[in-house]
């Protein structure tokens, strides 16, 4: 009963939880940005009808988004995700290990605003780098793609689509992010601070609050917002993330970045639209041919990826096993 009460409390608190992207704190400025876009671009219909079209917000896909959010909230209450967020643990041991290797002459550097700002910047950069590669391997590894395909199978995009994530993907993302960010924090703390109490840098949280407030919810929406060719080499715009969800062949495996487009630019996965593009969302094959909705229900979204992942593993292991099997001796002809 305590667990159920905690779960219900978390769900009811979700609209006011700064850790959830579609909390009211972030939706309110998003609506304001959308209003400006509507004023400039399209006033052929009332604002609220344009902002919240029934074809999107009453779509079956949106209901699956909500169900996955509620399911992951329950798993979070059970502590399944939290145990895999061990960034402070990694950072602490990295700091202690480095300090030990440095010997007894190590003196923690003084804490200054400049050092705190540098640490905040490094934490944000490393976190985004970790998210880029976590995202990319989910696309490129056949055994992981089925779990990430749950997110890409959304037929329409709404702010809640950000929570359309399979629990297995959350596990893997938490582990990789914890290791990468924890080690970077430990190294940076040693060089800049030497104080493990600053692992959870408030400045990084402020950065993400600002990011969420300045239109991040438009990424999962029907509203096109491009930053322009120059800026889209640096930051991922809502339009670029919508392109990432596109089923068109030319958009496959593009724009993995969360905040920064620098990683996509650096590693060859950047796509910058020349102008507005009419997009179709969902899962398609390598040729861009649409695949029938593989996750029409919560049950399918949770269970089907395990079947596909196992099939991908078997397909990869079977040829290797055949290559390693000893050849059978030929029977001499009589």
Q: What are the sequence ranges of the domains in the chain? A: 18-308
Q: What is the pLDDT of residue 104?
A: 61
**Which of these, 204, 275, 210, 279, lies nearest to 241 by C-alpha position?**
279
Q: For residues 290 and 173, what is the distance between their CA atoms, to the nearest angstrom? A: 27
Residue 275 pLDDT > 70: yes
Percent of the residues in the chain that have a pLDDT greater than 70, as a whole number:
86
Contact (CB, 8 A) for 241 and 224 = no
Q: How far is CA 117 from the centre of its chain?
A: 25
- The reported pLDDT for the residue numbered 199 is 45
pLDDT over 70 at 67, yes or no: yes
CA separation for the pair 104, 168 (Å, rounded): 43
Q: Taking residues 142-165, report their average pLDDT.
A: 97
Handedness of CA 170, 195, 116, 198 (dihedral sign): positive
pLDDT value, residue 330: 44
Please tell me which residue, 331 or 210, carries the higher pLDDT value.
Answer: 210
Binning pLDDT at 50, 70 and 90, where does residue 229 land? very high
State yes or no: pLDDT of 316 exceeds 80: yes
User: Per-residue pLDDT averaged across 281-300, rounded?
Assistant: 95
Instruction: Report the pLDDT value the prediction gives residue 332, as an integer from 0 to 100.
Output: 40
pLDDT number for residue 333? 40
More confident residue, 83 or 311: 311
């Amino acid at each position: 009963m305590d667990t159920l009460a905690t779960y219900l409390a978390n769900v009811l608190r979700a609209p006011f939880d700064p850790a959830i992207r579609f909390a009211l704190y972030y939706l309110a400025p998003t609506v304001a940005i959308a209003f400006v876009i509507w004023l400039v671009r399209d006033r052929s219909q009332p604002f609220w009808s344009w902002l919240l079209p029934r074809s999107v917000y009453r779509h079956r896909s949106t209901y699956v988004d909500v169900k996955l959010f509620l399911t992951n909230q329950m798993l979070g209450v059970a502590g399944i995700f939290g145990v895999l967020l061990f960034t402070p643990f990694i950072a602490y041991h990295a700091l202690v290990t480095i300090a030990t290797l440095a010997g007894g002459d190590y003196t923690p550097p003084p804490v200054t605003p400049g050092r705190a700002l540098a640490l905040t910047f490094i934490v944000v950069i490393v976190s985004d780098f970790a998210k880029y590669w976590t995202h990319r391997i989910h696309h490129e590894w056949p055994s992981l793609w089925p779990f990430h395909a749950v997110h890409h199978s959304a037929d329409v995009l709404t702010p809640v689509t950000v929570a359309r994530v399979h629990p297995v993907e959350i596990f893997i993302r938490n582990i990789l992010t914890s290791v990468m960010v924890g080690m970077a924090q430990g190294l940076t703390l040693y060089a800049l601070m030497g104080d493990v109490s600053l692992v959870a840098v408030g400045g990084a949280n402020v950065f993400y609050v600002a990011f969420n407030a300045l239109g991040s919810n438009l990424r999962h929406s029907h509203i096109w917002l491009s930053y322009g060719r120059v800026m889209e080499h640096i930051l991922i715009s809502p339009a670029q993330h919508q392109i990432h969800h596109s089923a068109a062949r030319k958009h496959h495996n593009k724009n993995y970045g969360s905040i920064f487009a620098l990683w996509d630019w650096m590693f060859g996965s950047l796509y910058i639209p020349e102008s507005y593009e009419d997009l179709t969302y969902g899962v398609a094959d390598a040729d861009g041919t649409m695949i029938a909705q593989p996750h029409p229900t919560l049950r399918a979204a949770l269970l089907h990826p395990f079947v596909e992942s196992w099939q991908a593993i078997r397909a990869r292991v079977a040829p290797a096993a055949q290559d390693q099997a000893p050849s059978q001796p030929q029977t001499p002809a009589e």
